[in-house]
Amino acid sequence: MATFKAPKGTYDLIPPVSVKYLAVREAISAPLRNSGYGYIETPGFEDVGLFARGVGESTDIVSKEMYAFETKGGDQLALRPEGTASVLRAALEASLHKQGNLPVKLWYSGSYYRYERPQKGRYRHFSQVGAEAIGAEDPALDAELIILADQAYRSLGLSDFRILLNSLGDKECRPVYREALQSFLRGLDLDEETVRRAEINPLRVLDDKRADVQKQLVGAPVLRDYLCDACKAYHEEVRALITAAGVAFEDDEKLVRGLDYYTRTTFEFVHDGLGSQSAVGGGGRYDGLSEMIGGPALPSVGWALGVDRTVLALEAEGVELDIPASTSVFAVALGEEARRVLFAKVTELRKAGVAADFSFGGKGLKGAMKDANRSGARFAVVAGERDLAEGLVQLKDMESGEQSAVALAELVDTVKARLA
């Protein structure tokens, strides 16, 4: 029995399920790669201050969920809880924004870490694919990202999801609203922690999931009534562009999201088959983040989609991804000489671009054919000493069961032709 187990709140991706995760990452990133987004990869940990300032000290992510630690050298680091701050930090560090090519469009895929209470769809190690468009204030960019996420989910065969959309205003109008909301919240009967949150980040109180809090929030001032003309016009343009693209969304004036850096456009993708962990992705505009982490003003927009929850959403909808078998040809050799010859053929097939595998471990015919079956290969190549003496191998079509002798020298060409 194994002594060690995966740590609490984590799980391993193992075959055959792990191919689904690869397929989901591929499907989410495909529309981005097709739309001018370049791949970026950043370290799994960063200076803790990057997140404390960028994500916001009063957010749950920073105050409760972050894996922060001191290194032996005395550096204060944190495992990354999200991608945006890191990507922006990397773009600034490499001066990507100074090359006259704004917006800088980037996509990423990786692991993120949050010390959360583990439950279905909520883990301490999870994976996201994300996109950031840095350095342009253009409603078409916000619309592009929402449309690409919609396209990604649809390409996977998902349909039971909804897009929630809101505007959080900008540095002109949001403070006025914040003030109004705060004085409303001060009149409520809230617990100590929520009172404190109302002082630091009152918009997040709107996001409180508890029913007794939500009941008191009826009649709270809504941000929409406070948006300045510029924010209103911007938001209307985003809505019009998404609508014109045929992407359905719902206006959700209570949508605020858990990160402090969002301004104007904010959105979330929720899936109705997931119970309480319903958010499969989210994002928005973060015009102030660059300055918060010491950079120039760089209005930007982005999203991150959760891979784990997307896989759960596929299961909830009963979607079976069409994932082709990874092996096309499985070689079964009977006897020492046959092993040497077929092993060489497998190498040749692989070099010719045919996915091939070999019966290892010196199994008998029965066991080896079982492996051939399990591999999902279209063809099994079987050879013993007698076949080889005649320069032949047996090629078995695993779908039809038909078997025929093929000249060893023509095996690669024959297989390639029959697979095409």
Q: In which region does residue 135 sit, left (phi positive, over 0), alpha (psi from -120 to 50) or beta (all else)? A: left
Contact call for residue 304 and ligand ATP (CB under 6 A): yes
Dihedral sign from CA coordinates of 100, 106, 112, 118: positive
Structure tokens at 273: 């088959």
Binding residues for ligand ATP, how many (CB under 6 A)? 19
From 278-286, 318-326, 369-377, 390-398, give the range in contact with ligand ATP by CB under 6 A: 278-286
From 20-28, 95-103, 280-288, 319-327, give the range in contact with ligand ATP by CB under 6 A: 280-288
Q: Is residue 157 within 8 Å of residue 321, measured between CB atoms? A: yes
Give the residue closest to ligand ATP by C-beta: 306
Q: Is residue 346 within 8 Å of residue 331, measured between CB atoms? A: yes
The residue (of 12 and 229) whose beta carbon lies closer to ligand ATP is 12
Residues 306-345 that bind ligand ATP (CB under 6 A): 306, 308-309
18-33 vs 139-155: helix axis angle to the nearest 10?
150
Structure tokens at 29: 């990133």
Q: Torsions phi, psi of 374, nearest 5?
A: -60, -30
Q: CA 58, 61, 66 angle in degrees (round to 5)?
A: 115
229-244 vs 139-155: helix axis angle to the nearest 10?
30
Q: Torsions phi, psi of 251, nearest 5?
A: -75, 130
Structure tokens at 95: 């001066």
Q: Tell the smallest beta-carbon distance from residue 345 to ligand ATP (Å).
A: 45
How far is residue 177's CA from residue 156's CA, in Å, rounded to a whole number?
Answer: 39
Q: What's the order of all strands across the beta sheet hosting 403-407?
A: 356-358, 329-333, 379-383, 392-397, 403-407
How far is residue 278's CA from residue 226's CA, in Å, rounded to a whole number?
Answer: 29
Q: Tell the smallest beta-carbon distance from residue 140 to ligand ATP (Å).
A: 23
Contact call for residue 282 and ligand ATP (CB under 6 A): yes
Contact call for residue 79 and ligand ATP (CB under 6 A): no
Q: Tell the smallest beta-carbon distance from residue 323 to ligand ATP (Å).
A: 22
How far is residue 66's CA from residue 49's CA, in Å, rounded to a whole number?
Answer: 12
Q: Tell the smallest beta-carbon distance from residue 305 to ligand ATP (Å).
A: 6
The residue (of 129 and 412) whose beta carbon lies closer to ligand ATP is 129
Contact call for residue 66 and ligand ATP (CB under 6 A): no
The residue (of 80 and 339) whose beta carbon lies closer to ligand ATP is 80
Amino acid at 371: D
Q: Tell the smallest beta-carbon distance from residue 311 to ligand ATP (Å).
A: 10
Q: Tell the smallest beta-carbon distance from residue 120 to ligand ATP (Å).
A: 10
Residues 93-152 that bind ligand ATP (CB under 6 A): 114, 116, 121-123, 126, 128
Residues 6+ apart with CB under 8 A from 418: 379, 397
Compute how many other C-beta atoms are within 10 angstroms of the C-beta atom of residue 288.
19
Q: Torsions phi, psi of 153, nearest 5?
A: -60, -45
Q: Tell the smallest beta-carbon distance from residue 57 to ligand ATP (Å).
A: 16
How far is residue 54's CA from residue 82's CA, in Å, rounded to a whole number?
Answer: 10
Q: Which of 131, 227, 279, 341 binds ligand ATP (CB under 6 A)?
A: 279
Structure tokens at 115: 């010390």
Residues 227-256 that bind ligand ATP (CB under 6 A): none
Q: Which of 10, 35, 63, 277 binds ligand ATP (CB under 6 A)?
A: 277
Contact call for residue 47 and ligand ATP (CB under 6 A): no
Q: Tell the smallest beta-carbon distance from residue 285 to ligand ATP (Å).
A: 14
Q: Tell the smallest beta-carbon distance from residue 303 to ligand ATP (Å).
A: 8
The residue (of 42 and 375) whose beta carbon lies closer to ligand ATP is 42
From 94-102, 196-204, 273-281, 403-411, give the range in contact with ligand ATP by CB under 6 A: 273-281
Q: Which of 25, 66, 82, 339 binds ligand ATP (CB under 6 A)?
A: 82
Q: Per-residue string for binding with ligand ATP, 350-389, x by CB under 6 A?
A: ----------------------------------------
Q: Tell the smallest beta-carbon distance from residue 258 to ligand ATP (Å).
A: 4
Structure tokens at 374: 């399990």
- How far does the chain reach from its first CA to its final CA, in angstroms? 46
Three-class DSSP category at 405: strand
Contact call for residue 258 and ligand ATP (CB under 6 A): yes
Q: Is residue 379 within 8 Å of residue 330, measured between CB atoms? A: yes
Chain residues that interact with ligand ATP, rule: CB under 6 A: 82, 114, 116, 121-123, 126, 128, 257-258, 277, 279-282, 304, 306, 308-309
